[in-house]
Amino acid sequence: MSMARLTALLSVLVLSGPALAQDIVLPEPASEAGPEAPAGSNPPEVAAIEVAPAIRDGVVQKAEQSGAAPAPAHVSGLAPVSALPDQIRMGASLPQPGILRLTGEVAAITLALELPADAAPAQGLRLDLRSAINILPDTAAMQVTVNDAAPVDLPLRNFGDFQAVDLPAAALKPGANRIGIALRQPHRVFCGPDASFAVWTELNLARSGAVLTGAAAAPSAQDFARALQQQVRAGLPLTVLAPEGTDPAVLRLLTDALGSAMQGQAFIQIRTPYDMAPRPGASVLLVQADAPQLDYRLDGSGAPVMTVAYRDATLPDMAEVLQALASATPQADAELLSPGQPVTLAQLGQGDIVGNTRYFRQDIPFRLPDDWLLLANQKARLDLHYGHADNLPQGAILLVKVNDETVRLLPLDRDGGKLLAPLPVGFAARLLHAGVNRLSFEMMVPGNPPDIACPPRQTDMLVIARDSSLTVPRSPAMRLPGLAATLSGLSAPSVTADPQAADPARMQLAAAQLAASLRPAAQPDPAASLVVMDFSTLPNALADVSLRALQEALFPAPPPAATPAQPAPTFRLSEAEPAAPEPAAQPTRSWSPLAWLARLGDRIGKSAFMASGENLSDWLDGRRGDALLIALDPDQPQALGLILGPDAQIRGIGRALDALRSSGQGHGGAALLSNDGSWQLWSPVALPRLQERVTAANLFPILGNYASWSPFLFACALLGLGLLSVLPALAIVIVYRKRRLR
């Protein structure tokens, strides 16, 4: 405080009497200062002298201290090599952005660490870790392998908050590095599938990596792209900083360019530069300036920032960084499976599957062509080449699943110790669909006994060989009508905001974020469009929807009305537990002929078509969600609308939209996004569309598809044909009978 000194000086000046007008007399040192004014006295004109310097700061570093202190260090960050699920799974997952969780008694993952070409040698490798308290610390360990160096063992002891562990990392080199992590983390008490989920270790990816010292140089386009890709793979969003007043059209240009370069794999969050929330790493700043300008800087935390200055809706040339981003973006699409021939797991990009946790699951995604459709009872086949350990306890099982439907249960408590002969597993092809499908292997091995820690194992529990093959029958080129076709052809520039929205800025923001997280279409359809809207405008398709149904579907559920509770008795006369209240009486079922006929008619009506069987308004009744995807006009099925509820979270909607798009399951005329991220589909009655000529080869599958789509109509058609075929016979009989009668 300057006034401390000021007062000190003033005191002396005033007290110095005649000297006052001559010169400034400095105060004495603090220890020799005059006494404080007595308590309770009137404030003196001049108070006690203070000469101690004002305390302005509590974390001051003197030059001699800072000279000896090491240069500030920063950590490079780590990233998974491939995309990980954002829900907790056995093995590796990203339950929170930037937090890698490795679940199960054993787990392994390879992480990428990119260092600039001109980076100084790293001081070490830092891992910011924490583990579940259930881990048995005596035997739990992490084995870390840096590139080809000898592995380093690390005990797992951080059971509370994240703590940094530093390792030597002489093997780190500029450019791409691989960090292998293998965990052994047995449960300290229990053994079994449940215990597998209770043991985990988490790694904060943003606060782990190579420890680099020295003043960070200004980043280049490559440095920025490298850092951005690393954080995107770690599940962290890209922050675009845009001050208020930024031209929305320019902002959209920028987010589209970034999203396209990263092929929709990054979620872009748009924030004001004054937002105090921490940023996850690399970011982009967009501001209006006198001239378009592109630069790369470090922000206040040392993370790279791409600064983009625009003028008159013109962005600077960003070709270099966009190219760097595109080249660093891994392809994440599932492999395309060609129907009609066996395709091995290896051809789907999957190696040998080895399971060593009491609960184990491995998903193998694959894609079928967009026009693949089989609804009848054709069979697909998995030739499963597998083996398991010979000492697995009784009750150990392996489930084979297709799109989460179990198609085979295999016991693993017999015939173990060797790879078995390939086992044909047939399943209904109608479990598959166009787009991304999932073949899953799920193993459960009970503890023996379950209430003590698992004994160490010397052998692997389960192996599924990569030469196991999947054969999917061919299908005629057919599609179920609905949103899926439009979604598959949708491209980022076609995602727009409704200009008539009540809150157009929110819609513009949402449209920009959704467009940036849209993966590029394999076959873009210029006519496909998606308008992001709110309740201020409603499309024709919702003309017949009751307002109440729409409100209840997308608005937050009101809190349940409080019902006055019956006061509990303050006495007890019996040792028996008080009887539970009687459940509400169920409506009695009427057995009158009319009611029976009505129920029958209802059942026939519902099973008549592969459709929702009710109009959209009735279908919406009682359902709740965050957003409603709908064709804006029945006559223009390629124009979609996405109506956002007031609580809609754009990141979740973007993910769900991408999942719906890649799954190819967007059949029907509307899709309601539930609060849990799943879609509820409403399908009006609409015939499957045949997209090729009918031939002798595809006749029966086509008929099968139509028959399965509507057994009622197919039966009616056959009945009609049967009746028609009877007519000639009747005619012949009548003609010949007439002749005989003559």
Partner 1 sequence: MNRRTLLLGLGAAALAGAPPTQGAAPPAHPLDASWQAWKSLCLSQDGRVVDGFQNAASHSEGQGYGLAMAAMLDDRPAFDAILDWTQRNLAIRDDALMAWRWQPDATPQVQDRNNASDGDLFLAWGLAIAATRQQRPELTERAGAIARDLLRLCTAPHPGDDGRLLFLPAAAGFRSDARVVVNPSYYMPRAMRELAQATGTPQLAQLADDGVRLIDGLAGAGLVPDWVAFGPAGQVPPPSGFSQNAGYESIRVPLFALWSGEAASPAVRGFAQAAGEAPPGGPYPVVLVPDSRAVIESSTHAGYGAVAALAACAAAGSGPGGVGSAMRPFAKDQPYYPATLHMMALLAQVSHYPTCVPL
Instruction: Write out the binding residues for partner 1, residues 244-263 only, by CB under 8 A.
Output: 244
Q: Which of residues 2-21 bind partner 1 (CB under 8 A)?
A: 2-3, 5-10, 13-14, 20-21
Q: Are 419 and 353 in contact (CB under 8 A)?
A: no
Q: How many amino acids of this chain bind partner 1 (CB under 8 A)?
A: 98
Could you tell me the smallest distance in angstroms from the CB atom of residue 540 to partner 1?
6
Binding partner 1 (rule: CB under 8 A), the pick from 76, 229, 260, 283 is: 283
Binding partner 1 (rule: CB under 8 A), the pick from 136, 393, 410, 535 is: 535
Residue 658's closest CA among 495, 479, 533? Answer: 495
Rounded CA-CA distance 265/273 in Å is 23
Binding partner 1 (rule: CB under 8 A), the pick from 17, 43, 456, 558 is: 43
DSSP letters, 5-36, are HHHHHHHHHHHTGGGGGT-PPPPPPGGGPPPP
Q: Are 103 and 95 in contact (CB under 8 A)?
A: no
Give the dihedral of Cα atoms 20, 24, 25, 30; nearest 10 deg: 120
Could you tell me the smallest distance in angstroms from the CB atom of residue 384 to partner 1?
52
Rounded CA-CA distance 660/490 in Å is 12
Q: Which of residues 171-230 bind partner 1 (CB under 8 A)?
A: 215-216
Does position 423 interact with partner 1 (CB under 8 A)? The reply is no
Could you tell me the smallest distance in angstroms from the CB atom of residue 128 to partner 1?
17
Q: In what order do the strands lie in the sheet with 529-533?
A: 495-497, 529-533, 636-644, 627-633, 670-673, 679-682
Site string for partner 1, 642-671 (x = CB under 8 A): ----xx------------------------
H or E element at residue 510: helix 504-516
Could you tell me the smallest distance in angstroms from the CB atom of residue 426 to partner 1?
49
Q: Are 273 and 243 in contact (CB under 8 A)?
A: yes
Distances (CA, A) of 552 to 546, 558, 562, 649, 671: 10, 9, 19, 18, 15
Rounded CA-CA distance 336/338 in Å is 6
- For residue 241, the cross-strand partners are 271, 285
Does position 630 interact with partner 1 (CB under 8 A)? The reply is no
Site string for partner 1, 539-568 (x = CB under 8 A): xx-xx---x--xx---xx------------
Binding partner 1 (rule: CB under 8 A), the pick from 35, 300, 578, 583 is: 300
Closest to partner 1 by CB, 6 vs 189, is 6
Helix 650-663 / helix 504-516 crossing angle, nearest 10 deg = 50
Q: Are 370 and 482 in contact (CB under 8 A)?
A: no
Could you tell me the smallest distance in angstroms from the CB atom of residue 4 to partner 1?
8
Please name the amino acid found at residue 326. A
Closest to partner 1 by CB, 23 vs 317, is 23
Helical segments of 16-46, H only: none
Could you tell me the smallest distance in angstroms from the CB atom of residue 536 to partner 1?
5
Closest to partner 1 by CB, 43 vs 728, is 43
Does position 632 interact with partner 1 (CB under 8 A)? The reply is yes
Binding partner 1 (rule: CB under 8 A), the pick from 17, 35, 42, 564 is: 42
Could you tell me the smallest distance in angstroms from the CB atom of residue 17 to partner 1?
13
Q: Which of residues 48-67 bind partner 1 (CB under 8 A)?
A: 48, 51, 53-63, 66
The one segment of 194-202, 291-299, 376-384, 482-490 that binds partner 1 by CB under 8 A: 291-299
Could you tell me the smallest distance in angstroms from the CB atom of residue 622 to partner 1?
19
Rounded CA-CA distance 631/671 in Å is 10
* Residue whose structure tokens are 């002749």: 739
Could you tell me the smallest distance in angstroms from the CB atom of residue 224 to partner 1?
12
- For residue 269, the cross-strand partners are 239
